[in-house]
Amino acid sequence: MSNAEREQFDPMRTYDGDPMRDVLLDRLDPTAHTEFLVYVMGPYTTIRLDYFLRDDATVDESDVDLGAFGDAEADLLDELRETVEWLRTELGVNAFLAVDPAIPTETHPEETDQERMNVISQSKAYAEASNAVVFVLPKAGVRDGVDIEIGAVLSGFDLGHGEGTPQKPPQRFHVFREHGVASATLDAVPHEYEVALTEYGTRSELQDQLARFLAGILRSERRGDLPPVDDDSATTDGAGE
């Protein structure tokens, strides 16, 4: 099956008739390594402790340790944007969040002529098009939806142990969890999937780990240990032809 035929039957690879990778490269601002796309997933909402308490309860959130991204004065989306901006400026990779390409989802409130995507299909498509996919899970974030997305994305690429040939090399995925994050879903990741999980304690530790992970992928690409991103699905799908 040719790439064109595969894209016709695989909506994960296209958006509005164009390859998703081309769409992302067109919509994202260029960087030193524009072709090296890094999809960053993580919670956009900061935990508000009063949400979990009775209406008559009070809490001083300044006394609560919410970890490396727990600045009560900052929105977690802005904190994640800082991480993406660091990746773009310091490492030069073309990192982005799901909201950055401005592709509307089915829950998007504004009227638009653009094709809409559901959030899980969108995440799969972004992951499919990217050289690397990182999940950043800070203590400060509300992770309910993100935990579901992680499972959907990893399962969508057949990355589970014993699931056969992965639809994308598992080396291109990495989960970064802050120390103290309690999640049965995240605990299960290294047992259920062929994907690495690393814990960090500070922003600088996270940055060091991200830099090592991405440098490793870049080296593997240059040595030919990983197929070009455009060939990821072609390599695996063609195994049975």
pLDDT one digit per residue (tens) for the chain, 241 residues: 344 434 433 556 888 889 999 999 999 999 999 999 999 998 876 655 554 444 554 545 455 555 555 555 457 788 899 999 999 999 999 999 999 999 988 776 677 777 888 888 999 999 999 999 999 988 876 666 677 888 889 999 999 988 778 999 999 999 999 998 877 888 888 899 999 999 999 999 999 999 999 999 999 999 999 988 876 544 333 333 3
| Structural domain count of the chain | 1
Domain that holds residue 175: 3-240
Tell me the HSE value of 171 on the side-chain side, using a 13 A CA sphere. 15
What are the angstrom distances between the C-alpha of 93 and each of 30, 115, 215, 217? 9, 27, 10, 12
State the amino acid at position 128 in one-letter form. Answer: E
Tokens linked to 148? 């579901």
Q: Contact 78/69 with Cβ under 8 angstroms?
A: no
Count of residues making up the chain: 241
23: domain CATH number? 3.40.50.450
